Amino acid sequence: MPTLLRMPAVAANESDTLLSSWLVESGGSFTAGQAIAVVETEKAAADVEADADGVLVRTLVAAGTNVEVGDPIALLAEVGETVSDIEAALVELGVTSGAAPEASAPTPPAPPTPPAPPAPLAVAAAVAHEVVPAAHSARVFASPIARRLAKAAGLSVESLNGTGPGGRIVRRDVEAAIAAPPTASVASAVATTTAAASFVDIPHTRMRRIIATRLQSSKQTIPHFYLHSSCRVDALLAARAELNEHSGVKVSINDFVIKAMAWAHQQVPEMNVVWGDDAIRQFASVDMSVAIAIDGGLVTPVLRSVESLGLTQIAAAVQEFAARAKSGHLLPDEMSGGSITITNLGMFGVEEFAAIINPPQAAILAVGAVTREPVVNGQAVEIASVMRFVLSVDHRPVDGVIAAAWMQAFGKAIEHPILLAS
């Protein structure tokens, strides 16, 4: 008996979800655990995996369509089962004309027509498609962003070699194919179009639109104020080096900063809050978001009860978050909650920057790079390792004196990391 595949509830409190792409075509077979489709929520892309082996008889919703949670999106059958009358099967399962079959499903808007002559990106994509042989005949595993980039560039993921975990095709594989040097047959075309092309339009992804909307709303509706501070981190660097000599989990400077933020929240609990329409909600434990860059955007999974975690536990949790974020396997409930976010651009050499608050949280701490510079110590000037921090604060639940007290406690923990061992 055929069954319906329905749009799953990927994220809490979302009534509809974008069906980003189909990974199995109508008539194609799949195995248990295989990803059938990719859906996108406000936070990230997620795979819809099969519960058992089967055949996708027909897709009922076109890629690029927003679908209500629980609505049917495909007709499935068991392996070896023949569905002679698809329309009758759909009617029997309660799918009326309101759930249009694939042929009449809404068609996603066509991307803007590229200028003529074609841009170098389009030519390079054609070149990459020519020089990379199609070497995969079975199901090809690829990240959602890799599939989108390949489709936009006119590439087939089956023609690419994956360098991700288990041979999964990731963004860098698509970019490498696009950037492959042209063959002699098209080299002249590349040379001809390079001078003529001045830009290329990159359509917005749903994630990019959501990020833009949320951050714009944050700046428009949240009264930000900013506190700047710099701290000596010589003792922190020494403690980190000693800890890493004796630990199987390597601890980063960022892990120390996360622990120091949790310590400051315990010293100044008035910062561990969020603004609500009727009340300021203050939390007993410290839940903190960690900003992680992924292909096409940024995600902020939440570390729970950071005050109870040791430095190596924080390091292991953040490393796991980063790995699963890049492979698109963060869970929906890991993306909500928290009262503060940490974002770090120090690895890019950025010394200081201000970040936008991630609503409904009350603050975000922007972390800069470690620099060597002269500092005054009593009557002497000496060279020290220094980090700069900028705390962006929502002035509705938090006043300046509370934020200043938090910044003072945070700086104390950074400059005296022995406090973080307790």
Q: 104, 133, 165: which is the final residue of a domain? A: 104
Give pLDDT, residue 136: 39
Give pLDDT, residue 103: 38
CA-CA distance, 156 to 137, in Å (whole number)? 12
**In this structure, is residue 54 part of a structural domain?**
yes
- The helix/strand/coil state of 391 is strand
The CATH number of the domain holding residue 140 is 4.10.320.10
Check the CA dihedral 280-281-285-288 and report its sign.
negative
273 in the same domain as 142: no
326 in the same domain as 285: yes
Q: 104, 137, 158: which is the final residue of a domain? A: 104
Q: Are 20 and 111 in contact (CB under 8 A)?
A: no
CA-CA distance, 414 to 41, in Å (whole number)? 36
Give pLDDT, residue 173: 79
Burial class of 8 by CB neighbour count within 10 A (0 to 12, 13 to 18, 19+): middle
Segments of the chain with pLDDT less than 70: 11-15, 41-45, 97-139, 165-166, 179-197, 422
Q: Where is 6: in which H helix or E strand?
A: strand 3-6
- The helix/strand/coil state of 216 is helix
Give pLDDT, residue 119: 39
**In this structure, is residue 201 part of a structural domain?**
no
351 in the same domain as 326: yes
415 in the same domain as 276: yes
61 in the same domain as 152: no
343 in the same domain as 297: yes
Give the residue among 39, 27, 267 at the shortest CA–CA distance from 147.
39
CA-CA distance, 286 to 362, in Å (whole number)? 13
| Cα atoms in the Cβ-side hemisphere of radius 13 Å centred on 239 | 19
Q: Are 285 and 271 in contact (CB under 8 A)?
A: no
Q: Are 129 and 178 in contact (CB under 8 A)?
A: no
Give pLDDT, residue 47: 82
Give pLDDT, residue 341: 98
| Encoded tokens for 370 | 């470690």
CA-atom Rg of the chain in angstroms: 26
248 in the same domain as 173: no
* Residues with catalytic roles: 395
The CATH number of the domain holding residue 288 is 3.30.559.10
**In this structure, is residue 211 part of a structural domain?**
no
368 in the same domain as 234: yes
pLDDT tens for 73-104 read 999 998 888 888 888 888 888 887 444 444 33
154 in the same domain as 58: no
pLDDT tens for 121-146 read 333 333 333 333 333 345 677 777 77
CB neighbours of 364 closer than 8 A, spacing ≥ 6?
Answer: 340, 341, 342, 343, 355, 356, 357, 358, 391, 392
* DSSP string computed for 274-307: EE-SS-EEE-SS--EEE-EEETTEEE--EE--GG
Q: Which domain holds residue 99?
A: 3-104
**In this structure, is residue 311 part of a structural domain?**
yes
Question: What residue has token string 């860098």?
Answer: 172
B/e letters for 216-241, b = 16+ CB within 10 Å, e = fewer, are: eebeeebebeebebbbbbbebbebbe
Count how many domains the chain has.
3
Per-residue CA distances from 254 to 65, 247, 297, 326, 345 (Å): 39, 16, 20, 19, 10
CA-CA distance, 50 to 38, in Å (whole number)? 12
Give pLDDT, residue 127: 32
